[in-house]
Amino acid sequence: MEHARAVVRLCGVVMIAGGALLCISSDFTIFPYALVLCMLGLALAVQIPDRYQASWSKAVGLLFLAGALIGAFAGIIGQYSSAILFSTQRYGETGNLIDVTNYQISYFTDRYGSISAFLLLGLGLFFLARVIPTDRVGLAAQRILILLAVLSLVIYLAGVIDVYLDGETPGILVAVLWRVFGFGWIILGALHVVARQARSTKGWLHVW
């Protein structure tokens, strides 16, 4: 069990690192890396025996989390690829070519990868919050997960407004959302770092 506790603490450090990147970075290209760190830390922590109660909610939560990871990785891949998937041409009334629009792979990875990752993450966190042991530390972690789930869905909606509806979310609102979102991951990671083993009334060991 000492090994399990060390792994839980390592997962907490990874989540803290991801949350810190979210808080201090103002460059959008950094956000997918930070998000991957946060999700990987949580996904690994969930696998620790007796860490989260085994149930269908855990399986569904991990499935959504896996989808969110794929979306975040797609966003990272899009940053390094300049490949053009297809182009569209616009012609004037006289038949002259007046405009060419190139659709790079990042156009799709950002719209359907990075943005959808927040939707999947929010749903996954809601399910994972249901399977945390409800002792004092576990209850605190459960509340943080629910907060992160809500924030993830709000960030997803902000992305939909900006990208799909051609609107513009206020910059100050986006900045605040990112910082609170990052700070929430820092708190969740800290709860894992200070996690301790406590024997329940049934005699099972839980890493909380």
Looking at residue 15, its pLDDT comes to 93
Q: Which helix (H) or strand (E) holds 111?
A: none
> What are the distances in angstroms from CA 29 to CA 10, 149, 169?
25, 22, 18
Q: Are 151 and 77 in contact (CB under 8 A)?
A: no
**Rounded to whole angstroms, how far apart are CA atoms 7 and 138?**
17
Per-range mean pLDDT, top range of 76-85, 92-101, 108-117, 151-160: 151-160
Looking at residue 198, its pLDDT comes to 39
The partner residues of 91 in beta bridges, in order of sequence, read: 97
**pTM (2 decimals)?**
0.81
**Rounded to whole angstroms, how far apart are CA atoms 114 and 32?**
7
Confidence tier at 93 by pLDDT (50, 70, 90): low
Residue 189, pLDDT above cutoff 80: yes
